[in-house]
Amino acid sequence: HKFLFYAVYSPDMPSRLPIQDIFAGLVTSIGTAIRYWFHYTLVAFAWLGVVPLTACRIYKCLFTGSVSSLLTLPLDILSTENLLADCLQGCFVVTCTLCAFISLVWLREQIVHGGAPQWLEQNQQQPLNGVGQQNEGQAVANAGVENAMLDQPANPAAENVVVGENPEIQEEQVDEEEEDNEDEEDAVVEDAADANNGAQDDMNWNALEWDRAAEELTWERMLGLDGSLVFLEHVFWVVSLNTLFILVFAFCPYHIGHFSIVGLGFEEYVQASHFEGLITTIVGYVLLAVTLIVCHGLAALVKFQRSRRLLGVCYIVVKVSLLVVVEIGVFPLICGWWLDICSLEMFDATLKDRELSFQSAPGTTMFLHWLVGMVYVFYFASFILLLREVLRPGVLWFLRNLNDPDFNPVQEMIHLPIYRHLRRFILSVIVFGSIVLLMLWLPIRIIKYLLPNFLPYNVMLYSDAPVSELSLELLLLQVVLPALLEQGHTRQWLKGLVRAWTVTAGYLLDLHSYLLGDQEENENNANQQPNNQHARNNNAIPVVGEGLHAAHQAILQQ
């Protein structure tokens, strides 16, 4: 069937659209466009102008160190001097504060789902046990669960499994019971079971409310792109959050470190480093961590339960932040400088040259050394992953396995004490430094002894060419070589080369079974005796690849 469609109008409609209707529609469309233009201009002005400018001016006001700057802050915010530079700097400040806020939320999720450290969980479980002993009418099942939790062996993995089953319910139960203990101890003893059920209901209700709020709050609504003016409230909260984070995470640690450095008389040394602000802030965070752990111990002595937990969580946040700075910032920097020092003879340079370059451009020099250190750490980790595929499990027990599904560096930062991290850091520095000595410094010495005219290697950093040698080398290290390593054939060739070298060195040093295990003997037995497969599987000789995780865990426990 063929269908035809026609526009059917009412009989009283005119044959042509009247001019006034056309103009009315045109005026309406122009008015809507102007209204949207004004609205989007206001949105752009608020998010790209007011928020960064306010953050930058407040940051400068707090760090000028004078009371007059606080009094003239409203006038400084409305000033039109250096608008573009202050907006760019404010965008950087806002980005830092938002990253800090997201990191805090993510760290809270890690603590909630992965379990708090053992010393914090023990402090929190004691009131639970006390309530369970006092309440004779409480259900036997609840008491059994609490006793099972408290009677766990001193194994962090097993304890985390038990504690981490529903930590949010446990935290709310404990908080409610502690508040009631401070007010009326008898009421807690009588209504413990009802409080537990109420905590679960409250948690479920809060979860539903948060999910509903998350569904209503979209990016368009939050930024003001949906046409409403609700985003002005969000702008106010972002400005307040920026001010709070600047005050708590930058102003207070910096001034704590500044007063401590001035009091100890190290001000000249810090100024000579050209990174006075960064070093002063890190010193302030270190002193803040020490103060928090001391206050946590005092709160434990006087049995202030809520204060003790709050101080413990704050200490965990500061500790994880400092460890991240050490792992990502300080360690690659040490590796980069050690690589530079060990390769000075290759470039016919001296420490005096490096000192002059640092004095002329400290920021660029430190960044280049950090970049070189990060590249070195990346290739070292890639080579270790390749070695684990060749060697038997357990040979590299002293190096962390990045492919282990249970490996979580953030959880280790939360749970392990500081001295364990310090010991790992020293071990990593020794291992990485020794590798640099063996692979860089010693070959350079041998080349200079055997071929005196072969070195030095000259690098043209300043040239008229559009692409310098340094740019090409960085492109080779960062783009070309990782792409080649990810290709199957290149990886298999490198793996075969490493395996051939390991077999040769193992036979020469009589370490073949220690390095490679009994894989080849087991494969030969499997080819020669296919009928005795079941009997061979019952032997106690492990095949490479079987029980890799168990072997690593056993060695780590030892």
Q: Residue 163's pLDDT band (boundaries 50, 70, 90)?
A: very low
The pLDDT value recorded for residue 470 is 62
Between residues 507 and 558, the one the model is more confident about:
507
* Residue 547 forms part of a structural domain: no
| Residue indicated by tokens 């965070």 | 285
User: Which two three-digit tokens encode residue 389?
Assistant: 């595929």
pLDDT exceeds cutoff 70 at 132: no
The pLDDT value recorded for residue 89 is 92
The pLDDT value recorded for residue 122 is 67
User: Which two three-digit tokens encode residue 351?
Assistant: 């420490």
Mean per-residue pLDDT for 102-115?
Answer: 88
The pLDDT value recorded for residue 240 is 92
Q: Residue 527's pLDDT band (boundaries 50, 70, 90)?
A: low
Number of domains in the chain: 1
* Residue 501 forms part of a structural domain: yes
The neighbour count for residue 452, using CB atoms within 10 Å, is 8
Digit-coded pLDDT (tens) for 372-425: 999 899 888 888 888 888 898 888 887 778 777 778 888 889 998 999 999 999
Mean per-residue pLDDT of the chain: 77
- In terms of average pLDDT, the best of 320-334, 443-457, 539-553 is 320-334
Predicted TM-score (pTM) above 0.75? no
The pLDDT value recorded for residue 521 is 52
| E-state strands within 342-484 | none
* Residue 513 forms part of a structural domain: yes
The pLDDT value recorded for residue 265 is 86
Contacts of 283 (CB under 8 A, 6+ apart): 257, 260, 261
In angstroms, the first-to-last Cα distance of the chain is 83
Mean per-residue pLDDT for 458-481?
Answer: 62
pLDDT exceeds cutoff 50 at 134: no
Mean per-residue pLDDT for 265-270?
Answer: 87
Digit-coded pLDDT (tens) for 29-77: 999 999 999 999 999 999 999 999 999 999 988 888 777 777 777 777 7
* Residue 224 forms part of a structural domain: no
Supply the range of the domain harboring residue 504.
486-519
Q: Residue 259's pLDDT band (boundaries 50, 70, 90)?
A: very high
**Alpha carbon 264 to chain centroid, angstroms:** 32
How many helices (H) and strands (E) would you count in the chain? 30, 0
* Residue 266 forms part of a structural domain: no
* Residue 48 forms part of a structural domain: no
Q: Measure the CA–CA gap between 340 and 353, rounded to whole angstroms.
A: 11
Reduce the secondary structure of 256-274 to three states and give it as a string: HHHHHHHHHCCHHHHHHCC
- In terms of average pLDDT, the best of 218-227, 341-350, 391-400, 510-519 is 341-350
* Residue 362 forms part of a structural domain: no
The answer to which of 155-169, 243-257, 457-471, 492-506 has the lowest mean pLDDT is 155-169
The neighbour count for residue 221, using CB atoms within 10 Å, is 15
